[in-house]
Amino acid sequence: MRYGFFSATTALALIASTGLAHAAPTPEQIAAAALRAAPVWDGHNDVPEQLRDRRHDVIAGFDFRDTTKEPLDDPRVAAMVPPGTPTGMQTDLTRLHKGHVGAQFWSVFVSANLTEQQAVQATLEQIDVMKRVIAANPDTMAYATSSADVEMAWKAGKIASLIGMEGGHSIGGSLGVLRQMYALGARYMTLTHFKNNGWADSGTDAPAHNGLTPFGKDVVREMQRIGMLVDLSHTSQKTMLDALDIARAPVIFSHSGAMTISGHPRNVSDEVLDRLKANGGVIMVNFFPPYVSAALRDWTAARAAEEARLKSLRPDRPDLTAPALADWDKGHAKPAVTIADVANHIDHIKARIGIDHIGLGSDFDGGSIGLVGLDDVASYPALFVELARRGYSKADLEKIASGNIMRALKGAEVYAAAHRGDAVIENATVF
């Protein structure tokens, strides 16, 4: 026994001295291996909104291989872009490839300020324009409406392209419209956007319904019956809890963060995270700087307060506000928001409810501008390297990249298949 022990020890020393021992993989190697095994499946990208704002849904001449110089002439969009930031889009096929993106929920967002009838039309137009973009790039993109379609696209080396609706106002208060949106390809619906609708409270509006109305609860039931993922991003905490009370299949947050890390009402409390774990759902972590960073949120509130103070002191001299506010800016540096801040949200969610409930929902081309290290869709590998540095394994990273959202979608599909024979939930049409 002693002889054998010393022989093994000597052999190990010899291996080490001759350089035959394998070094531990670097964070870069772990991240690269994970992304080769499991491409990124992002929960929320607003290319359709950009096409509407920049091109009014006319894509003649639009080259999705390179959008870095795509003109920006809409002042509403320009106002969101920090000075000095490139005004091209954050998404194109070249950068999606660099970012190892293999599946994308394209958000068909329309403003919550529209009437319900206007919103229905605008949503149909957004679905149409995104389908036309996918059809125009058949060598790179594949339209997908199911987990099987996603897997087929991956085998073909294409980007699986799914559609998600952002805001329940898009169904015009009609379960019939909801079912037709599903028939047209929508595979999730965010129950609200920044304002309440007629049946659900938003997280960024004064409560009107105490969560979901009875009709709102029927919306959730019918979404799950037909196999559409229920997306709770943007909703109030009471709406989240009401939906989780009803849900029998996994739900998602397509682009949200952890409220414990940043207290913005767009983020998700620990109470709701715990319920999400029990539900089997997924929170897809967002890159929108004001939601990511508590320091930036506080700075923004302080700056707004200072601007209001200046205006109230000299209402007769509005020309004085801008220079005085510029002086305030010089003494109050805007906090930088970095890739580490996003990783902090992921760390908290992992510690609270485990690795099986985390995904990514960037909100690129919808407001996620100015986050250091996550500039555009080519940047995902940098986040995976940061997570690997923090001790995340290859298996952990594969789940975050796409494994968890694939499981959630399959869960929704299984539930819908089991309830295919259930009666359609109807609501009376009101003119």
Catalytic-residue membership of 363 = yes
- For the question of residue 166 being annotated catalytic, the response is yes
Does 332 participate in catalysis according to the annotation? no
Name the DSSP class of 372.
B
Please give the angle made by the CA atoms of 163, 47 and 173, to the nearest 5 degrees.
Answer: 50
- Rounded-to-integer distance, Cα 141 and Cα 101, Å: 11
- Give the contacts of 145 (CB within 8 A, at least 6 positions apart): 162, 185, 187
Distances (CA, A) of 292 to 68, 89, 288, 336: 25, 21, 6, 11
The active-site residue out of 100, 234, 348, 357 is 234
> Is 193 noted as a catalytic residue in this protein?
yes
What are the DSSP E strand ranges found in 243-289? 252-256, 282-285
H/E run at residue 124: helix 116-135
Alpha carbon distance 190, 193 (integer Å): 7
C-alpha to C-alpha distance for 311 and 429, rounded to whole angstroms: 48
419 in active site: no
Q: Give the other-Cβ count within 10 Å of 243's Cβ.
A: 27
> Which parts of 238-355 are beta strand (E)?
252-256, 282-285
One DSSP character per residue, 379-393 reads: -HHHHHHHHHHTT--
Contact 39, 155 (CB under 8 A): no
The span from the CA of 369 to the CA of 91, in Å, is 12
Name 101's bridge partners: 40
Q: Kindly name the residue from 100, 209, 255, 264 that is annotated as catalytic.
A: 255
CB of 34 closer than 8 Å to CB of 384 = yes
Q: Would residue 97 show up in a list of annotated catalytic residues for this protein?
A: no
Catalytic member of 100, 169, 193, 357: 193
Give the Cα separation of 90 and 93 in Å (integer).
Answer: 10
Catalytic residue among 222, 231, 347, 363: 363
284 Cβ neighbours under 8 A, 6+ residues apart: 42, 43, 44, 252, 253, 254, 255, 256, 358, 359, 360, 361, 405
Q: Quick check: is 46 catalytic?
A: yes
Q: Which of these is catalytic: 42, 53, 92, 166?
A: 166
What one-character DSSP code corresponds to residue 183? H
Query: Which residue numbers are catalytic?
Result: 44, 46, 166, 193, 234, 255, 363
